[in-house]
Structure 1
């Protein structure tokens, strides 16, 4: 597609009188290919466009007081096409990276559930009352609301308090 676009631009440039310069239009296939396919393909298209412009300028009979001036002009155009391909390719990479980060963020946010407000907790058994007035164990409540499963252990202060009781249970076993 980009080569066809370059062909159309070359054809219009050939048909146009020598006084009319279409060198800026050669950027269109370079930018399009660099955006759609990447930097490398854009750079190759930039090379084709620069060479195509130079060959057309050489064969069209455009006036140049010296061939060095025509070559210098072609070199400037070639550099601008290459820079455009590189810049658009870099922009494309950044946009794709940003899209990837946004997708990861959306996936992470979909996994996060948040509890807000006050939770009615029984002072004795530590069950939690839901919006319908039903009482659930803390483990079940958290699992239903957040998807997080609870594990059980004993904190050092509770272990200290329970140690005398646990010691008496161990001696009877």
Structure 2
């Protein structure tokens, strides 16, 4: 092994170990948020994806200790699995009643086949990195589309997770173009630069994405609490009510039925029925009626 190759391998190992540390911190934070939340919804998928990415980084850092087949296929495929789970989480977060799994499952299966074929037939082919980039860019873009259908906190601000997905997709497209440049086939320096840049981008993407997701969930929760507090304040205090017809007077001085008032000032909706006392009174009045009165 040349001195250059040994140096490059050392740099990659350091980057992988750094990514592993970052991933485990983010995974713990997302897991804590999930445990403190309602134990359902998109946070479950964010948590699973974070731990899958952590496992992928552990395998990347351990590649010198693994067999060639495992080292070349499994870590890269785990990244695709993690991004596929992120896509499912983005679609769940958008509130879709039926989440489509065709794209995430299809991407994982396709990538597994391509990685296997490249490993056994063309292990040094640049098309391997091209296929990686295109699949990851596609999953990131689909995740961006999913979050665009979510509440604005997930896509409107510059730190929103949807923006992280879009930046991730653009990065992999640019990286794919760099790999396909004629110069890349002869320039070892360019290949090294692209490889290191891709490894560093993982850290930036993970931090931007998961911190953005946690902030978005926190903002969404604060908005829900603020809305509930405003509703409580609206319904608090004295409410004038007619002692005879039971209508209530609103802030503009108009008298309304109780159900109309609550419908306009809260999310409360009334379903009409008859209580037992009124039912007994109605039955007694009906029994008093003579046949001629019916």
TM-score range, shorter chain: 0.3 to 0.5
* Higher relative contact order (CA closer than 8 Å, sequence separation 6+): 1
In the superposition, the TM-score normalised over structure 1's length comes to: 0.47
